[in-house]
Structure 1
Amino acid sequence: MLITRGLAGLLLACWALGCSALEAVDDSGDAVSLPSPPQRIVSLAPHITELLYSLQLGDRIVGASAYSDYPPAARSLPRVGSHDRVDVERILALRPDLVVAWRSGNGPQTIARLRALGLTVFVLESASLTAVPDVLERLGQLTGRDSLAAGEARVYRERLADLTRRYGTRQTIRVFYQVWNQPLMTLASDQYVTDAIERCGGINIFADLPGKTATVSEEAVIERQPELIVAADGDADEMVFARWRALGATPAVDYDQLVLLPPDTLVRPTLRLVDGLHHLCEAIEGARQAIHESGDSST
């Protein structure tokens, strides 16, 4: 971690006065310190913006990346580029005392450049359902929101455990999760939504493929006989499933188990993930009742 001379001086003065700095370890393994709660924060990813609002820090965000649209107040924040193309000059002009970055989205070069310019950068990476409350707690430690973060994290963990306990051991449903229509894309093994499907008593039919996403063919989907087809798209409607209805030949179509999930709740690693998990579990349970509990043993 690079610390500017000014920040080092403030830390020394704080130590001399008997106060303690705020500190947390980020997902790059660096211990990041601040002499006092940050007053000017820049967020470099939409889910980070949302996490900051969860800690009631919205009034301290002076810049955010594109697509930071939740809660609605985030839509009016000044933009500092997109996750993969950061406007460094704009960030410097905003004079942040903390920049919160997304490790895999922003990339190591961008993060290193910001630190080289003397900015305090806290790097986050929520790669699993269970990582979200941990990330929130560490962000709370660094921003002086420890108690609030601990409370929100506890509620999240309780809901996650409850949903897993309620649905995880029920009869398995084969699920096709459609990420994109053209080209046809789905989720692969290295994706926390695959874990979410399993927690609901389902199985991602393409969990054997490597990586986070995969391009697949219609024939491959039909061959694996999904019992539920889901999609999550804010601009989509039932037309997203038109191709499957036309093709038929799957239990999902035979039993009309094609479900649009609320957008963003499952694809952004925030506290709303458990809301998305709840909707997913309900969709899987609906397919379970429609197919297996109908007495059809052919699937």
Structure 2
Amino acid sequence: MMRRLILLLPGLAFVGLGLGLVAGTAQAEERDPVCATDDRDREVCLDAPAERIAVLSPGATELTYAAGAGDRVVAVVAFSDYPPEAREVTSVGSHTRVDLEALVSLEPDLVVGWVTGNPAEQLETIEELGMAVFYIEPRDVEGVASAMERLARLADTEAQGERAAREFREGMASLAERHADAEPVTTFYQVWDEPLMSVNDEHLIGQVVAMCGGVNVFGELSRLVPRIDDEAVLAADPEVIVAGGMGEENRHWLTHWEQYPSLAAVARDNLFFVPPSLIQRPTPRLLEGSRILCEKLEVARGRR
């Protein structure tokens, strides 16, 4: 971890009026370190609030800005496109391969890493180089809210971070209450196409599906993001297929299923798209993505 060096300058001693006086001594103001526990259950402490933050995933970028520390961000990675001002920040590679030389040159005093998304060896190297690494990976609604609060603590922007966390918690709780008695709708969420992948009930997206009254047809599989095939989808015969796609306007994943007219989701025209940045990133915008998903499932109920 980078440490701020405090230099004490020796004073010049002189005697006057019978009193021994020391002049020119610079007294460093001492303060307690700023600490927060990351998602690897490690306490990360800084000598002072973070002033130069590097964020190594698009989700971490959004969370840091939401926590009120956007003006401290000096480095991002590819696809860090929200909020719009993040696009103007220097990129140091992608979440799968960070340009360490570029990162070091920006002298961050805090690096926000992604537990399972960034290469572990690179994050270890970053720490060995003396930079503090705060690992995040929200796995549920509370995790998203808590991440904003903890990042705000490290940046000394707690008022804004706490406000954003509170609004997110309240919004998600209201949405859950609204759909608490909704009729179940069997649902397949497609998170990737080649290989074909879904999510289980423990995944944050799976939790959103359940909150909206959906029954995840692959929810009981053991892997968080299980690989499946067309035959498994045909056997499950979901009423709804939801896809994130490769971009905000890319819906071609859904057209693949139109070759199976016997699928309930196809027969009832329940092939829905939700912009991936709204539901596949664990950020405050998950609230907006959840609202869209709940609306799609409500449409499907009306088509029975």
Give the TM-score range, shorter chain.
0.7 to 0.9
5+ residue gaps, structure 2, are 8-26
CA distance in 1 between partners of 2:85 and 2:110 (Å): 20
Residue 52 of structure 2: aligned partner: 40
CA distance in 2 between partners of 1:239 and 1:125 (Å): 29
- Displacement of 1:236 in angstroms is 5.0
- Displacement of 1:72 in angstroms is 1.7
Residue 297 of structure 1: aligned partner: none
CA distance in 2 between partners of 1:239 and 1:88 (Å): 36
CA distance in 1 between partners of 2:254 and 2:152 (Å): 41
Match of 1:284 among 287, 292, 297: 297
Residue 224 of structure 2: aligned partner: 212
Residues 67 and 149, structure 2, Cα contact 8 Å, conserved in 1: no
> Cα deviations across residues 84-142 of structure 1 (Å, max 9, x unaligned)?
21221111111111111111111432222111111111111212222100111011111
1:241 aligned onto 2:238:
no
Residues 189 and 211, structure 1, Cα contact 8 Å, conserved in 2: no
1:26 aligned onto 2:23:
no
CA distance in 2 between partners of 1:140 and 1:181 (Å): 36
1:221 aligned onto 2:222:
no
Residues 129 and 196, structure 1, Cα contact 8 Å, conserved in 2: no
1:186 aligned onto 2:194:
no
5+ residue gaps, structure 1, are 292-299
Match of 2:275 among 248, 257, 262: 262
CA distance in 1 between partners of 2:201 and 2:28 (Å): 51
Residue 16 of structure 2: aligned partner: none
Q: Secondary structure at the match of 1:90?
A: helix
- Displacement of 1:197 in angstroms is 0.4
- Pairing 1:1-299 to 2, within 5 Å after superposition: 3-4=1-2, 6-7=3-4, 9=6, 17=29, 19-233=31-245, 234=247, 237-291=250-304
Aligned length: 284
Say what the alpha-carbon RMSD is for the aligned residues.
Answer: 2.1
Residue 294 of structure 1: aligned partner: none
Name which one, 1 or 2, has greater alpha-carbon Rg. 2
Residue 296 of structure 1: aligned partner: none
CA distance in 2 between partners of 1:278 and 1:148 (Å): 23
CA distance in 2 between partners of 1:248 and 1:76 (Å): 46
CA distance in 2 between partners of 1:125 and 1:181 (Å): 23
Name segments (4+ residues, structure 1) moved above 6 Å.
none
Residues 97 and 119, structure 2, Cα contact 8 Å, conserved in 1: no
- Displacement of 1:273 in angstroms is 0.7
- Displacement of 1:250 in angstroms is 2.0
The one-letter amino acid of 1:112's match is: E
Residues 140 and 148, structure 1, Cα contact 8 Å, conserved in 2: yes
Q: Secondary structure at the match of 1:157?
A: helix
- Displacement of 1:32 in angstroms is 1.9
* Structure that is richer in helix per residue: 1
Residues 6 and 28, structure 2, Cα contact 8 Å, conserved in 1: no
Residues 188 and 207, structure 1, Cα contact 8 Å, conserved in 2: yes
Residues 54 and 110, structure 2, Cα contact 8 Å, conserved in 1: yes
The one-letter amino acid of 2:116's match is: S
**Normalising by structure 2, what TM-score?**
0.87
**Normalising by structure 1, what TM-score?**
0.88
- Displacement of 1:16 in angstroms is 6.7
The one-letter amino acid of 1:7's match is: R
Would the alpha carbon gap of residues 116 and 267 (structure 1) be closer, same or farther in structure 2, given more than 3 Å must change?
Answer: same
CA distance in 1 between partners of 2:251 and 2:138 (Å): 31
Residues 259 and 283, structure 1, Cα contact 8 Å, conserved in 2: yes
Aligned-residue identity in percent: 37
